[in-house]
Amino acid sequence: MGYYDFPHTRNYDSDLGFLINRYKELIERVDGIENTILSQAKDYTDAQLRTYQDQLNTFRQEIQRRFNQFTDNVNANIALMQRDISRFDAKIDNAIIGVNARTDLAIEQNNEYLKEYISDQVIDVKVLNYFTGEYVTIQEMLDYLAAFHATGGITYDQLAAREKTYSQLAELAIDYTTLVTNGYNVIV
């Protein structure tokens, strides 16, 4: 090494000591630069992360605000619909009550009309009275049948208790009307 351009003597040991010191300085400077770069990179990364975190927090708050606003709008609309449905239910209930009342009145009026119509028609209807052989109104037939209960009619058990034969009954020469209406008094 003696012939190179070092700032010191051309002595090998001196020049080597100089170079070793310079390498140490260079290593320290490189280590310092590395630490500085790492420190600056960390500071930059932390600053960027804070910025992104702030943006994320702002975005979260905006989403939460919009969600709350949407929820409030939906709940308000649901309340309006429920109120409208309740009003509509009450309106339908009132309409049903009105329709039922009107229908009940119409049925009652129709029943009265039918009763009057039928009673007018029944008065003119004639039935055969099997006891007399005459055609009479239904009311006259009912009156005739009711007379059996009010007069001295005889029941089968009463007739059997009197122990009359057919010949004895034939000798009485009574018609069925007399038998039914006054048989209790005639057959002794």
Q: Domain range spanning residue 152?
A: 125-186
Residue 8 per-residue DSSP state: S
Say what the pLDDT of residue 144 is.
81
Task: Give the Cα separation of 73 and 81 in Å (integer).
Answer: 12
- Predicted structure pTM score: 0.38
pLDDT value at 145 more than 50: yes
Residue 24 lies in a domain: no
Residue 182 lies in a domain: yes
Q: What is the mean pLDDT of residues 14-41?
A: 84
Number of domains in the chain: 1
> What are 87-123's pLDDT values in tens digits?
999 999 999 999 999 999 999 999 998 888 877 776 6
**Which residue, 147, 186, 146, is CA-closest to 168?**
186
Say what the pLDDT of residue 5 is.
53
Say what the pLDDT of residue 106 is.
92
Residue 178 lies in a domain: yes
